[in-house]
Structure formats: C-alpha cells, structure tokens
Amino acid sequence: MTVDVADDGSGTVDVAVGFDADAVGRLPDLDDDGLSTVTDLAALVRRVDLVAAGWEVADPAAGDGDMTWIRATKPFGTPEEADRILTELAGPDGALRDLHVSRAPGFGRTSYGFRGTVDLSRGLEAFGDERLAAALDGQVLGQDTAEIEQELDQPLADVFMFEVAAHLPGGAASTWSPRLGDGPLAMEADSTVYDEPVLALTAVAVAAAVALIGVVGARLVRRPRAAPAPSADADADADADVDSDSDVDVGAGLEA
C-alpha cells in the first residue's frame, strides 16, 4: 500500500497485490479452460464493487521477474478524505490501524505527516473478516494455515511480503516492511516544504527595516544641537550690569 501526498494535500492511495507464477498457477480455473492464468486473477477481483466505491482498478500487469500485479487506486482531495479512505481500507479489526495523513500550513512553510500502526501478529487472518470466513467454511484463507504451509513446504512468512509506503512532499519516501507474525509497528513520517519566495521577501523586508532604522539613527546623531536659551537669572544679571554701567557714566559726568 502506498500513500502519495501532493503539495496541496491531495493525492492517492494505491493498493497493489503481486502473485508469482506459482501463486497464479494455484488460482481457481474460473473460465474452465484447463489453465489458471491472469484471466482467472482478473475474474476474482470484484471490479464493479470497487469502481462503485471510487476505486480505479487496473488490469493485471506483468512486473519484475515472474510477478503479476493487480492495482487499485483511489484519489483524495484533502488529508481528511485520505483518512476516510484509509479507514475504509483497513477495516475495524484489520492489520492497519489509526492511519492518518496531515498537512499544516505555516508562515513560509508547510508541514506534512503520516501516522499509523501495522499489526501482522494474527498472520494472514488479519486481512480477512467474519463474512469472508463464513463464505469459506470458517477459514479466512479457505483452509488451515498449517495445511497451506505444508503444501508450500515453507512458512507463510517466507512467501508473503507486506509493505506500506508514504510519499510526502519535500521528503524521501518512507517504507515499512513488517514480517508476517510481527507485533504492532508504529509508522511515522514527517516532512516540511519551505516557501522560498515568501522567506526571501521577508528577509528583504527585514533588511530594509534595519537599514531604515540605521539611516534615521544616523541623522539624529548628526543633527546640530541648538544653543541653550538664557535663563531668567541670567537676564536679571545682565540688566543689573547695564544699570551699574549707567550709574558710573552719570557719576563721571557730574564730576566733570
């Protein structure tokens, strides 16, 4: 399963199931042609129900080696919609629990996250449900696990691989690959995308503000200081000096 998140919080949930040649050869011969082929694999998928639920189902396609893959993809527009799809996919008691996609815009950056738990401690039975078990005579896998392993001559954990991947903007893909039978595994991934133009404009604005403050400060320092105004006491002393000079002049004139 892959969760791919775009910058705006939209994205896709992609589920892919791969079968090797031996697995394809064990499929029921639904078209009665005497062979078990990818045609039978395609017939096993309830495409009509998946499409009605909003999934896009691709035809079986060859992959690396002798693998044949069948994929189903469902788009989402918001992280909240992604959570609903993941809950729908996991079921109430399935191997995947508490799956959550987040997007948190901030000033000059946006943070993204993916959280959840995968628990394969119940084996392949974790991917079934009561209705499937009822349809298969009480066996989620159609037969007892021990019988399947005896037929394969190896443990199911050696032939079954499970992977969860999260692709978040601005970060490398995070992948978890628990082994069948493993206990709960916490999955956490985070990334941050920085808005370079906003940060650049902010830096320019801060630099301009600092420069303006510097210019204003320099002008205030260079402005000449005004001479202090004479005080009232100084005016009185000056008047007294004038009167004293006048008295001296008058006295000198009388003596003459």
Q: Mean pLDDT lowest for which of 5-14, 127-136, 174-183, 207-216?
A: 207-216
User: pTM for the whole thing?
Assistant: 0.71
Query: Residue ranges per domain, the chain?
Result: 2-194, 197-226
pLDDT in tens, 83-125: 999 998 887 778 999 999 999 998 889 999 999 999 999 888 7
CA distance 156 to 23: 12
Nearest by Cα to 190 from 64, 255, 104, 80: 104
Distance between CA 204 and CA 209 in Å, rounded? 9
Instruction: Decide: 194 and 217 in contact? Cβ < 8 Å.
Output: no
Asked if residue 120 lies in contact with residue 181, where contact means CB atoms within 8 angstroms, the answer is yes
Query: How far does CA 251 lie from the centroid of its chain?
Result: 104
Beta bridge partners of 165: 2, 175
